Amino acid sequence: MNVRRHFFFLLWIVLLSAEAATLRSQAPLPPTPATAPLTHPGDIYKQAMHPLDLVRSSFDNWSDAELGALSVAMRVARQACVESKPEAYSGEDLYELARLCSLGQQWGAANTIALQYIASGAEAHRTQAYILSMNSLMRAGDTIAAIWSARLFLYQRKSEKLV
């Protein structure tokens, strides 16, 4: 039990580190709706969808039809993952394949492909690939490997900051 607690603490640190990096790399936030009207359709869309996103964040709020659709999506993703050839992909497509395998709950393949993406040196989804790998390892029951993956991620992030 102590190992799981340690893993979740490390995962929490990884997620905070990723969030902080994202916030640092983003442009300053636009004015709040109280101080300026939203003029970009994308901003208005995000604001309009926010309550729906909050409700849908819990499976308890999903209808039987939505849960059925998720089940179909998972089945399609599982089949596509099993039939895929990871060596045929690179960059963004490799990362998307790892996500697909994760949706299909093919934990071994999702971890392997996420690690291939990380090893490729691509930076666009590096943090998300580490999180995919850690989640896959946890789901597969390999808590120790997930902890080592979290430590490796944190070590690499620290090394990048020193350079």
In the predicted structure, residue 5 carries a pLDDT above the cut 90? no
User: What one-character DSSP code corresponds to residue 88?
Assistant: G
Distance CA 92, CA 106 (A): 19
Distance CA 155, CA 163 (A): 13
Average pLDDT over residues 96-122: 95
Please state, in angstroms and as integers, the Cα–Cα distance from residue 34 to each residue in 2, 38, 43, 54, 138, following that order: 46, 10, 14, 21, 43
In the predicted structure, residue 60 carries a pLDDT above the cut 70? yes
Band (59; pLDDT cuts 50, 70, 90): confident
Band (81; pLDDT cuts 50, 70, 90): very high
Q: What are 82-91's pLDDT values in tens digits?
A: 999 999 999 9
Q: What is the pTM of this model?
A: 0.67
In the predicted structure, residue 13 carries a pLDDT above the cut 70? no
Q: What are 19-57's pLDDT values in tens digits?
A: 555 545 554 544 444 555 666 778 878 888 888 888 888
In the predicted structure, residue 95 carries a pLDDT above the cut 70? yes
Phi, psi for residue 78 in degrees, rounded to 5:
-60, -45
Q: Determine what percent of the chain is predicted with pLDDT higher than 70.
A: 74
Distance CA 26, CA 22 (A): 6
Average pLDDT over residues 157-162: 73
Element (H, E) at 14: helix 2-25
Q: Determine what percent of the chain is predicted with pLDDT higher than 90.
A: 49
What confidence score (pLDDT) does residue 27 get?
47
